[in-house]
Amino acid sequence: MSEFAEQLKKIRAEAVSVLQKVSDAKELEAVRVEYFGRKGKYTLTMKGMAKIPASDRPAMGSLSNQIRNELTQKIETVASQIAKKEREHQLLSERIDITLPSRHSQIGKKHPITQTFEIINSIFHNMGFQIAEGPEVELEYYNFDALNTPADHPARDLQDTFYVEDGIVLRTHTSPVQIRVMEQEQPPIRVIAPGRVYRRDYDISHTPMFHQVEGLLVDRDVSFSQLKGVLYSFAQQMFGKKTKVRFRPHFFPFTEPSAEVDISCPFCQNGCRTCSGTGWIEILGAGAVDPNVFKSVNYNPEEYTGFAFGMGVDRIAMIKFGITDLRLMLENDMRFSEQF
């Protein structure tokens, strides 16, 4: 046998035994280069073909092809074995134990203010009130003028009200919604208007943004005693059957007569910190709709009467949930909201 043929067979035997020891893709690639790379053993040996006598060439050609095919095949086989092994290894190492208990993701809670709004809304809904809304950036006209609040009223002072621009304010109460509703509809009217309001105030018990729910009822022959009945019923549903309600004379430009309304302190019998030792907590302002307000929406005050009230939702939430610091409401701390 020619030296050339012998050389090729040696390469084959050697390559076959090397391939048996290969254990990963990197090693396999090194072996491929060692034999079939540009300077590989097989490649270099094949350069000797030029010196083979023409008569031997067909035989040598077919031998070298056969060896190359055989080795290429083997390399491919080993490659697919390695790939399979690696995939199995990966599947094993990335195995998920589906019997492990899951880690629970934290579930949010409704903010106490939201919860309080929902309770208030549902109490009044059950008494036949519908929900109305108005803008937080409001015309001075709706916030003050139409509510019988003259230009020289102290509430209109820059010290108390956020002015956006001339004639436009951040509403200081939800009462402008009364006007918007009455402009749109004719009596009988029975609405509440929950929402945010803004005043230039900031201390332990005041934040520049807070929440109110307005109430408005207009019809023929509406009396102050009906206002009392509605608010008694609300207070007892909100704070419990034992709750007492007290009306104190007060003044609002848009109601006449007017009152501030207190509930008996749910935390004590005869005075604690929450009620400043008085046994009573103020929760809202109310009164009979002033005839001047009816005139600004073209209702006939001889034909219709009504009552209105506006309650402080933050205060009510603090009482309802026993929260002592108003600022906690604004911190968005889950440890806080989780408690309610």
310 counts as binding ligand PHE under rule CB under 6 A: yes
C-beta of 75 vs 316, nearer to ligand PHE = 316
- Phi/psi region, residue 100 (left: phi>0; alpha: psi -120 to 50; beta: rest), is beta
| CA–CA distance, 248 with 231 (Å, rounded to integer) | 14
C-beta of 294 vs 309, nearer to ligand PHE = 309
171 counts as binding ligand PHE under rule CB under 6 A: no
Q: Choose the stretch contacting ligand PHE; rule: CB under 6 A; options: 32-40, 80-88, 303-311, 331-339.
A: 303-311
C-beta of 238 vs 308, nearer to ligand PHE = 308
Residue from 35, 234, 252, 294 touching ligand PHE (CB under 6 A): that is 252
Give the binding-site size for ligand PHE (rule: CB under 6 A). 11
By the 10 Å C-beta count (0-12 exposed, 13-18 middle, 19+ buried), 121 is classed as middle
| CA–CA distance, 167 with 196 (Å, rounded to integer) | 19
8 A C-beta contact, residue 330 and residue 230 = no
176 counts as binding ligand PHE under rule CB under 6 A: no
Q: Which of residues 283-302 bind ligand PHE (CB under 6 A)?
A: 285-287
Give the shortest CB-154-to-ligand PHE separation in angstroms.
13
| CA–CA distance, 150 with 143 (Å, rounded to integer) | 11
Q: What is the end-to-end Cα distance of the chain in Å, rounded? A: 95
Residue from 143, 148, 149, 175 touching ligand PHE (CB under 6 A): that is 175
> How far, in Å, are 70, 201, 273, 282 from residue 319 at the CA level?
88, 21, 12, 11
Residues that bind ligand PHE (CB under 6 A): 173, 175, 252, 255, 258, 285-287, 308-310
